[in-house]
Amino acid sequence: MDSDGHIDIRSRIRDHGARQVTIARFFAPVDWQGELRSALAAHREPVTIFSGNDLRLFLQSFAIFFTATMMFLV
């Protein structure tokens, strides 16, 4: 605390940041660069429009919409 009653939090923030970096280093995998590369590669894989469950969900939604439309028209 300063003489005029204000708290200088810069050192507290700096200390907190240092603690966070230390904690992050403890929990980081040994080969963190390899982990990061594999995560980025998995994220960059092309996404198909209808893959697996997406096609099934589309067909179910279309069937419900089609049935509701036919009921409305009848």
pLDDT at 9 over 70: yes
Question: Which pLDDT belongs to residue 15?
Answer: 93
Q: Nearest Cα to 70, choosing from 62, 59, 58? A: 62
DSSP-assigned states of every residue in 30-61: TTHHHHHHHHHHHHTSPPPSS-THHHHHHHHH
pLDDT digits (tens, 9 = 90+) for 21-64: 999 888 887 888 888 899 898 888 776 666 667 888 888 999 99
Q: How confident is the model at residue 7 (pLDDT cuts 50, 70, 90)?
A: confident
Domain ranges of the chain: 1-34
C-alpha angle 24-26-29 in degrees, rounded to nearest 5: 90
Q: With 0.85 as the threshold, say if the pTM is over it.
A: no
